[in-house]
Amino acid sequence: MSGRRRAARTLEGIMTLRVLAAMSGGVDSAVAAARAAEAGHDVTGVHMALSSNPKSYRTGARGCCTLEDSRDARRAADVIGIPFYVWDLAERFHEDVVEDFVSEYAAGRTPNPCLRCNEKIKFAALLDRAMALGFDAVCTGHYARLAGGVLRRAVDQGKDQSYVLAVCTPEQLAHSLFPLGDTTKADIRLEAERRGLRVADKPDSHDICFIADGDTRGFLAERLGSARGPIVDTDGNEVGEHDGAYAYTIGQRKGLRLGTPAPDGRPRYVLDISPVTNTVTVGPREALDVREITGERPVWLSEPRAGAFECRVQLRAHGEVHAATAEQDGDVLRVRLAAPARGVAPGQAAVLYEGDRVLASATIAAAARVPA
């Protein structure tokens, strides 16, 4: 960052931006920062410390924010030749992501913490602080294409992260750079190696970064305690017991430990979670079929459309896309699927696409099942 350069109001057409590159210590954000610097931007690397008590080392592919990640990010910044700092966002992360995660589960929903982190931390707390400190934009290693305010899927369909970015507002995206959207992950690894970034062969991170051992149920049980309740079938017959309704996800089949087999002997799935009555309802797979979805807090990344329109909708990260008709109805987005979809969980995002372009997103509030 140089004090002589004037802050730009919009990113379009500005050759040199003051860019804050969020650097996790992984290969993607390192290459993203390198590309931004190479493009002539004035780049500063920042590693977000999201845990107030970081572990020293990574364990496998899980988790992040260890001291080792912080060191990896610092080394990458050295190699790129940009200043580097660690910003402590642990408190905000805990409040906005970890606590939200727990309370969403407690309310019977299935949150996506990565999405929440983008919405509340990377493109909110981090971006706000960056803007206040004189930066023009935040750059991340997300796989998505962004140009002229239009957010598109990445070229690498398998790595595409437009779904978790679709919750960002146009204002947030106006100050964002995603330099990796036009390249495949395999090529990014090669590029990292070519650039001398030692993180080139670091494993991809998976799962939820703040649950290092991957035991989401145990993590929730620790925080929510156990609350024994009934598991019932669609007729209301008690078929089992649970230690806390929060530990279940709509569409879940494994780990139900049902005492009474289904009359037809077929596997049963979680259909509904009612935190009020602390009841988990299970039933046959077809009962998961959903035709209509109501999405709350819609965010439009294209001109909002009046009336019903055809689109494709994605209902979970790396999930399949469904043909649908959508319509904004007051404060909510109503989405009608052309064919029933299964495992639609309140709390996840419904992201509307036209081809590879993101049109809008909304948080799934309710899903209407197909009448049996």
Interacting residue ranges for other proteins, rule: CB under 8 A: 1-3, 44, 47, 49, 54, 67, 70, 74, 83, 85-88, 90, 129, 132-134
Residue 311 is among the residues annotated as catalytic for this protein: no
Q: How many whole angstroms separate alpha carbon 365 and alpha carbon 357?
A: 23
If the CB atoms of residues 52 and 274 are measured against other proteins, the closer one turns out to be 52
Q: Is 134 left (phi over 0), alpha (psi -120 to 50) or beta?
A: left
If the CB atoms of residues 135 and 246 are measured against other proteins, the closer one turns out to be 135
If the CB atoms of residues 131 and 227 are measured against other proteins, the closer one turns out to be 131
Out of 64, 117, 139, 168, the active site residue is 117
CB of 198 to other proteins, least distance (A): 18
Q: How many whole angstroms separate alpha carbon 127 and alpha carbon 47?
A: 13
CB of 70 to other proteins, least distance (A): 4
If the CB atoms of residues 42 and 100 are measured against other proteins, the closer one turns out to be 42
CB of 86 to other proteins, least distance (A): 3
DSSP 4: T
Q: How many whole angstroms separate alpha carbon 154 and alpha carbon 140?
A: 14
If the CB atoms of residues 2 and 15 are measured against other proteins, the closer one turns out to be 2
Name every residue whose Cβ is closer than 8 Å to that of residue 44 and which is 6 or more positions away in sequence: 1, 18, 19, 20, 21, 82, 83, 84, 85, 135
Out of 65, 114, 209, 311, the active site residue is 209
Residue bearing tokens 């049963």:
268
Q: How many whole angstroms separate alpha carbon 120 and alpha carbon 47?
A: 16
CB of 124 to other proteins, least distance (A): 14
148 Cα distance to chain centroid: 23
H/E element, 282: strand 279-283
How far CA 62 is from CA of 185, 205, 214, in Å, comes to 19, 6, 7
CB of 63 to other proteins, least distance (A): 14
Active site residues: 117, 209
